[in-house]
Amino acid sequence: MNDNQLGSVFRQKIIFTIVVGLFAVLSFQLFKMQILDEPTYEEKSNENSIKKNVIVAPRGVFFDRNFQVIVSNKPSYTIEIVPSEYDTKLNPVLEKVLGLEKGSITKVLNEKKKFSRYQARRIKRNADIKSVAWLEENKEKLKGVKYVIEIQRDYSYGIKGSHAFGYTKEISSEQLNQQKIFTISGIISASAELKKTMNNICAEETERNLF
C-alpha cells in the first residue's frame, strides 16, 4: 500500500468519525429536547397556544350610615392590543387617534415582551366614546386591536375619596415577577396605605382559557 492509499484511508476515517460525531450530537440534542426538556417546552407551548380572557372581580359599593350611596362604580373603556396579531406599523395611527405620546405603544410592548404574545396589553384606560366609535368603524383594518369594558370608581355622589378608598394602576413587569398571582394585565393598588387590602381584592381574577 503506497502513501496515497494510506492518506486516502486516513481521510476516510476522519470524515467517518466527524459524521458519526455530528449524528451523535444531533441525536443527543433531539433526545434532550423531546425527553429531558419535554415538561419545559410543553409549558411554553401551552402558554402560547392558550389565549387567556381575564374576568376581573367586581368592586364593591360604599354606603353611608343612612344607606345612601357615596362611592359606586361605572363602566370605562380600555383599549388593548394582542401582540401576536398586532402590526406595529399601526403605532403612529393609534397614538394619534387615542391621544397617546409618540412611542408609548412600543414602550408598552417592550416592557412585557418576555410574557406570552397571546395576552392582551393595555395601551389606554378611560378611552372616550369617540375613540371607541373610531375603532368600531375601522376594526377590519386594526387586527389585534380591541376595546373592553372595565369598571372604575364613580365619585359623582359628592364624595372625593380616592385618597381614602384607594386608587389602582396596572401591574408592572417587575411586580409581575414578584407576585405570580396576578395576570399580565392585573390591576393593583397604587395607594400605599391600602395596598395590602386592595391587592388581595384585585387579585381575585378569573381566567377563561380560549383555545
Give tens-digit pLDDT for 24-78: 889 888 888 888 777 777 766 666 656 666 666 667 788 888 888 888 888 889 9
CA distances from 208 to 3, 39, 103, 181, 211 (A): 74, 23, 31, 15, 10
Higher pLDDT pick, 197 / 118: 118
- Three-state DSSP at 149 gives strand
> Can you give the pLDDT at residue 183?
57
Has residue 132 got a pLDDT over 90? yes
- Tell me if 94 sits within 8 A of 44, measured CB to CB: no
pTM above the 0.75 mark?
Answer: no
Contact 120, 82 (CB under 8 A): yes
| Grid cell in block for residue 38 | 419535554
User: What is the per-residue pLDDT for 143?
Assistant: 92
CATH (residue range 53-210): 3.90.1310.10
What sign has the CA pseudo-torsion 180, 183, 184, 190?
negative
Q: What is the pLDDT of residue 43?
A: 67
Decide if pLDDT at 134 tops 90: yes
Looking at the chain, how many residues does it have? 211
pLDDT band at 106; cut points 50, 70, 90: very high
User: What 3-state DSSP class applies to 66?
Assistant: coil
